[in-house]
Amino acid sequence: MSEFHAKLYEARGLRTVAALQKNGFDALYVQTAAIAAEKVLEFVVSGAKVGFGGSYTIKSMNIQELAAKKGAIILDHNAPGLGAEKKMDILRAQLTSDVFISSANAVTMDGMLLCVDGNGNRVAAMSFGPKKNVVVAGLNKIVANLDEAYERLKAYASPLNNIRFQKPNPCVTQGYCADCALPTRICRAYLELRRKPGLSDYTVIIVGEELGF
């Protein structure tokens, strides 16, 4: 990243953090994913039940493994070898976890978060339930406003997640959302957080690097 990009991204990150704070979120800007991981792990204590929303950002930061090392009880619905019933049990347990760690699909410079899920587990936990929500987003997810956030979903986040999960949906071959009506559609439950949900404790960490999609 050039020094010019770094300066622009930091300005954008700080502006977004200020807007998030104005909208009731605890929010901070850090320069690197490594610092962000340290901040996230400050909320994880031994014996805490920690849920994960299935985020590629969080996976790339190795937070699940680091939380397990701290003695947390990991609620991972994507753990290998889980049967359907056990997976549902874990998804439900995440809703009452001590800490729920996820990313958003877009964060706006006016301080809002936009997410879309196939099953709705992440957006449910991001609305209400866990004692603490921690959201980490790289600068590639920052957009001007909700219109741009929905555009980001259609152009990048959703097609890339379809590629990641090897879905046979048209966005994979067309490179852009076709608003499909297929049973394999992964874009089903949309959540706009225009302000911090009233009863939730939230920290949003904006990172000065590209993370996830």
- Residues lying near ligand SF4 in the complex (CB under 6 A): 158-159, 162, 169-171, 177-180, 185-187
CA dist., res. 207 & res. 119, Å (int): 27
Pairing, β 73-75 against β 142-143: unpaired
Could you tell me the two tokens for 190? Answer: 């949309």
Least distance to ligand SF4 from the beta carbon of 179, Å? Answer: 5
If the CB atoms of residues 82 and 180 are measured against ligand SF4, the closer one turns out to be 180
CA dist., res. 29 & res. 144, Å (int): 17
**CB of 50 within 8 A of CB of 97?**
yes
Least distance to ligand SF4 from the beta carbon of 178, Å? Answer: 4
Among residues 143, 147, 132, 165, the alpha carbon closest in space to that of 19 is found at: 143
CA dist., res. 28 & res. 203, Å (int): 8
**CB of 93 within 8 A of CB of 124?**
no
If the CB atoms of residues 63 and 114 are measured against ligand SF4, the closer one turns out to be 114
If the CB atoms of residues 23 and 162 are measured against ligand SF4, the closer one turns out to be 162
Q: Would you put residue 179 in left (φ > 0), alpha (ψ -120 to 50) or beta?
A: left
Least distance to ligand SF4 from the beta carbon of 156, Å? Answer: 10
CA dist., res. 108 & res. 32, Å (int): 20
Least distance to ligand SF4 from the beta carbon of 85, Å? Answer: 26
Least distance to ligand SF4 from the beta carbon of 122, Å? Answer: 15
Bridge partner list, 189: 117
Least distance to ligand SF4 from the beta carbon of 166, Å? Answer: 12
If the CB atoms of residues 79 and 163 are measured against ligand SF4, the closer one turns out to be 163
If the CB atoms of residues 71 and 168 are measured against ligand SF4, the closer one turns out to be 168
If the CB atoms of residues 120 and 197 are measured against ligand SF4, the closer one turns out to be 120
